[in-house]
Amino acid sequence: MREHDRLFIGGQWADPAGTGTIEVVSPHTEEVVGRVPDGTEADMDAAVDAARRAFDGGPWPRMTPAERAEVLGRLSAIYAERQQSMADLVTEEMGSPILFSIFGQAALPQMVLQYYVDLAASFTWEDERAGMLGPVTVTREPIGVVAAIYPWNVPQFTLMLKLAPALVAGCTVVAKPSPEAPLDAYLLAEWAREAGLPDGVLNIVPAGREAGAYLVAHPGVDKVAFTGSTAAGRSIGAVCGQRLRPVTLELGGKSAAIILEDADLAATVEGLKMAALMNNGEACAAQTRILAPRSRYDEVAGALAAMVGDLVVGDPADYGTEIGPMAARRQRERVEGYIRIGRDEGATLLTGGLDRPHDRGWYVAPTLFGDVSNKMRIAREEIFGPVLALIPYDGEDDAVRIANDSDYGLGGSVWTADVAHGVEVARRIRTGSCGVNLYVLDPNTPFGGYKDSGLGRELGPEGLTAYLEHKAIPRPA
């Protein structure tokens, strides 16, 4: 049992203003495994105030990027050394299979941090240009106090996408973890203290959406970075629009995996295990619409159903587990609701369904629907669980049309024996990323969405620019 009765504010473990608590329940045992304070508006005030003082009074924003990178490099080294404890903790709080956790919930966030530590040395922080009347210095300055709000599915990754570039840039941060997965942020706070991050540069207040909304609108905040649902993103974007406050939004997805005529089916199905079902399918970039050429439809359906039906569903801490429980009871209800919807819409249940694999824990059976039309709700709405929709297509143009016929535009993939041709097809897909014969997020390449999948990009130099203001200083020759 992990009990935390304080919040991380101003570099100290501070008493919360209220008495409310958030219970963290294991999705596997359904037992309480942790407790943290439920942050209130008064706590958000205190955290923004601490971040504001650390930004306005320094030293953090006035240190050189190299000096900041040195501190963050120490944090990265601590993270690298102890990443197994982070992976175990995230698996315990939200049910990610441990083999995925080791990579996606711990190693990858550390890689993102190290990427930005390294980028500090090569990034162009300032350059000189020839202006009309004389030289101009163009400098990049930290944008200010950042509110970082993120979900429970990949908590450390979605936090680090914001935290690492914001801190390298010289910003200070108020982070709001979700009520479902707040424990990992406490471990990170300990490591940040140990690394010598100055007081107030990172502040952490777990809270629900009301306190989150209060933070978004807080007058002391200069930029909002949000990962979560499209519905919440719209409301946050509207508030930021009203206040002309810069905002980055990483929202939902309904990405398509296009299997071309010439694809090696065994390799494709193996690749889709990860691309479509990573992290129990609780992944915004999961390729949950599988597009198969009609000529090979039966073959694809058979191979995919065998793969999905054979997945090992069980205790996420077990190294043999491929699919763990859904992170929350309401998430299981949502996923089961979509399985009902798929059945009612007339899709063919190829494997899985509503029989729960285990009596205890929030498990759902990995499910594959066949004969799905792209008009069905299970093809249009984000399910956020291990439920796939197999959609037949007639010719490559039809595949591209179906892939693009979505409100979302986050990820995607093309599976083919001809990689160069796959790249040409990927270019036609209106999404922020589209892999060929794999799907991966690299720390040095931008990640984000078109359309309802969001605004702006995280990762890569693009992700750092999101935390910088550009200032021109012209002077006479």
Give the CA angle between residues 348, 350, 355 to the nearest 5°. Answer: 100
User: Both tokens of residue 476?
Assistant: 């006479």
How many residues bind to ligand NAD according to rule CB under 6 A? 30
Strands, E assignment, 88-133: 126-130
Cα–Cα distance between 467 and 162 in angstroms, integer? 9
Closer residue to ligand NAD, CB minimum distance, 227 or 351: 227
Task: Give the position of tokens 């037992």.
Answer: 31
Question: Does 229 help bind ligand NAD (rule: CB under 6 A)?
Answer: yes
Closer residue to ligand NAD, CB minimum distance, 106 or 149: 149
Residue 406: CB minimum distance to ligand NAD, A: 13
Among 55, 115, 152, 415, binds ligand NAD (CB under 6 A): 152
Which residues within the stretch 343-402 sit at the binding site for ligand NAD (CB under 6 A)?
A: 382, 384
Q: Is the dihedral of CA 339, 344, 350, 355 positive or negative?
A: positive
Question: Does 324 help bind ligand NAD (rule: CB under 6 A)?
Answer: no
Which residues within the stretch 178-207 sit at the binding site for ligand NAD (CB under 6 A)?
A: 178
Residue 387: CB minimum distance to ligand NAD, A: 14
- Secondary structure (DSSP) of 39-73: --HHHHHHHHHHHHHHHHS-SGGGS-HHHHHHHHH
Q: In what order do the strands lie in the sheet with 32-37?
A: 2-3, 32-37, 21-25
- Secondary structure (DSSP) of 302-336: HHHHHHHHT--BS-TTSTT-SB---SSHHHHHHHH
- Which of these segments, 36-44, 81-89, 211-219, 353-361, binds ligand NAD (CB under 6 A)? 211-219
Residue 384: CB minimum distance to ligand NAD, A: 5
Cα–Cα distance between 297 and 390 in angstroms, integer? 9
- Letters for 280-309 (x = contact with ligand NAD by CB under 6 A, - = none) are ----x-------------------------
Among 12, 235, 437, 445, binds ligand NAD (CB under 6 A): 235
Closer residue to ligand NAD, CB minimum distance, 253 or 271: 253
Among 153, 172, 280, 431, binds ligand NAD (CB under 6 A): 153
Residue 204: CB minimum distance to ligand NAD, A: 12
User: Both tokens of residue 119?
Assistant: 């980028």
- Which of these segments, 228-236, 355-363, 368-376, 416-424, binds ligand NAD (CB under 6 A)? 228-236
Question: Does 22 help bind ligand NAD (rule: CB under 6 A)?
Answer: no
Question: Does 137 help bind ligand NAD (rule: CB under 6 A)?
Answer: no
Q: CA-CA distances (angstroms) from residue 10 to 29, 45, 80, 88, 431?
A: 35, 12, 25, 28, 39
Closer residue to ligand NAD, CB minimum distance, 181 or 372: 181
Is 250 annotated as catalytic? yes
The answer to whether the CB of 166 falls within 8 A of the CB of 150 is no
Beta-carbon neighbour count of residue 40 at 10 Å? 21
Residue 225: CB minimum distance to ligand NAD, A: 11
Q: Which of 16, 11, 50, 14 is nearest to 192 (CA)?
A: 11
Residue 250: CB minimum distance to ligand NAD, A: 3
Give the side-chain half-sphere CA count within 13 A for 388. Answer: 34
Catalytic residue among 92, 171, 240, 284: 284
Catalytic residue among 250, 282, 336, 458: 250
- Letters for 243-262 (x = contact with ligand NAD by CB under 6 A, - = none) are -------xxxx---------
User: Using CB atoms within 10 A of its CB, is residue 18 exposed (0-12), middle (13-18) or buried (19+)?
Assistant: middle
- Which of these segments, 46-54, 146-154, 196-204, 355-363, binds ligand NAD (CB under 6 A)? 146-154
Cα–Cα distance between 343 and 89 in angstroms, integer? 36
- Give the chain's length: 477
Which residues within the stretch 411-450 sit at the binding site for ligand NAD (CB under 6 A)?
A: 449
Strand partners, 226: 149, 249
Question: Does 451 help bind ligand NAD (rule: CB under 6 A)?
Answer: no
Is 284 annotated as catalytic? yes
Strands, E assignment, 95-158: 126-130, 135-142, 145-149
Beta-carbon neighbour count of residue 291 at 10 Å? 26
Question: Does 406 help bind ligand NAD (rule: CB under 6 A)?
Answer: no
Among 172, 203, 227, 416, binds ligand NAD (CB under 6 A): 227
Question: Does 410 help bind ligand NAD (rule: CB under 6 A)?
Answer: yes
Among 212, 246, 366, 435, binds ligand NAD (CB under 6 A): 212
Cα–Cα distance between 120 and 438 in angstroms, integer? 29
Question: Does 216 help bind ligand NAD (rule: CB under 6 A)?
Answer: yes
Residue 407: CB minimum distance to ligand NAD, A: 12
Residues in contact with ligand NAD by CB under 6 A are 149-154, 158, 176, 178, 208-209, 212-213, 216, 227-229, 232, 235-236, 250-253, 284, 382, 384, 410, 449, 454
Catalytic site positions: 250, 284
